[in-house]
């Protein structure tokens, strides 16, 4: 085997170090790209809308189907929606505050600005204020809202959310996966474009009345 002289040996060692450095740099780029790919898309922002409650009800717990002191539950299909509040890295956000408000089963809000002829439901809470637990989990029981006509066009069934952590705030709307036709025609849903996927809940294959939806906050 041919032996290298001192200078040639030094050059050979330098070349090896350069290749090794390039390999480590490439590995670093791969790790960085993987980390970016693993980041979750933040939940799409939406308008707060005209029907945010002017007066919060005394009963604002996680069960919107039954108001304390009432004997009857709200009219409509009872559904359960649960999920987590996360940051874009998938870390749970404990003690985040979630406010929810929505139309009743007839598509009517209990709000003075809603001039719809649809009936109000005196047994429907319509609003909730809850917090995530230590692992970022939350859960509500409510009525699936009806769609309704509005000045901007027909609104598909949806739930309004105002979600706050210690660092950030997101106002969003949740849409239902089975409402493909009315979702596609909804003007606010259309505005979300490709980000609309972050606003659609997943429906349980075992129970059609159960949905899951993770809310991902920036920051």
Number of domains making up the chain:
2
The pLDDT of residue 12 is above 80 = no
Q: By the 8 A CB rule, do 217 and 168 touch?
A: yes
DSSP assignment of 37-60: HHSPPPPPP----TTS-SS--S--
69-78 per-position pLDDT tens digit: 999 999 999 9
User: What was the pLDDT predicted at 104?
Assistant: 98
Tell me if 90 is assigned to some domain: yes
Residue 193 and residue 124 share a domain? yes
Q: Which residue has the tokens 């030094």?
A: 10
24 and 96 inside one domain: no
Q: What is the pTM for the complete model shown?
A: 0.83
HSE value, Cβ hemisphere, 13 Å, CA-based, for 210: 7
Of 153, 159, 170, 146, the closest CA to residue 211 belongs to: 159
Neighbours of 62 (CB within 10 A): 19
Residue 59 lies in a domain: no
Domain at 98, CATH number: 2.60.130.10
Q: What is the pLDDT of residues 83-124, one digit of tens each?
A: 999 999 999 999 999 999 999 999 999 999 999 999 999 999
Owning domain of residue 5:
1-38
In a shared domain, residues 97 and 179: yes
Task: Indicate whether 47 belongs to any domain.
Answer: no
Are 121 and 105 in contact by the 8 Å Cβ rule? The answer is yes
Same domain, 82 and 190: yes
Report strand pairing: 148-150 vs 153-155: antiparallel
Asked if 16 and 121 sit in the same domain, the reply is no
Same-domain check for residues 90 and 143: yes
Q: Is residue 52 part of a domain?
A: no
Structure tokens at 122: 């005196």
pLDDT at site 99:
98
Give the pLDDT confidence of 143-201 residue by residue, as tens digits.
999 999 999 999 999 999 999 999 999 999 999 999 999 999 999 999 999 999 999 99
First-to-last alpha carbon distance for the chain, in angstroms, is 60
């Amino acid at each position: 085997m041919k032996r290298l002289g001192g200078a040639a040996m030094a050059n050979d060692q330098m070349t090896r170090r350069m290749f090794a450095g390039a390999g480590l740099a490439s590995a670093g780029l791969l790790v960085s790209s993987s980390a970016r790919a693993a980041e979750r898309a933040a939940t799409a922002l939406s308008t707060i809308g005209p029907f945010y409650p002017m007066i919060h009800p005394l009963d604002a717990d996680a069960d919107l189907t039954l108001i304390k002191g009432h004997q009857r539950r709200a009219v409509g299909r009872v559904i359960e929606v649960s999920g987590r509040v996360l940051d874009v890295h998938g870390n749970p956000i404990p003690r985040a505050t979630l406010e929810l408000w929505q139309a009743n089963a007839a598509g009517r809000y209990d709000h003075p600005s809603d001039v719809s002829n649809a009936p109000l439901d005196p047994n429907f809470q319509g609003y909730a204020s809850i917090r995530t637990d230590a692992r970022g989990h939350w859960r509500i029981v409510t009525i699936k809202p009806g769609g309704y006509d509005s000045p901007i066009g027909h609104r598909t069934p949806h739930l309004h959310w105002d979600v706050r952590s210690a660092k950030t705030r997101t106002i969003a709307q949740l849409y239902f996966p089975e409402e493909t036709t009315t979702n596609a025609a909804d003007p606010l849903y259309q505005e979300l474009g490709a980000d609309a996927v972050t606003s659609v809940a997943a429906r349980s294959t075992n129970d059609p009345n159960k949905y899951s939806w993770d809310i991902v906050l920036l920051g």
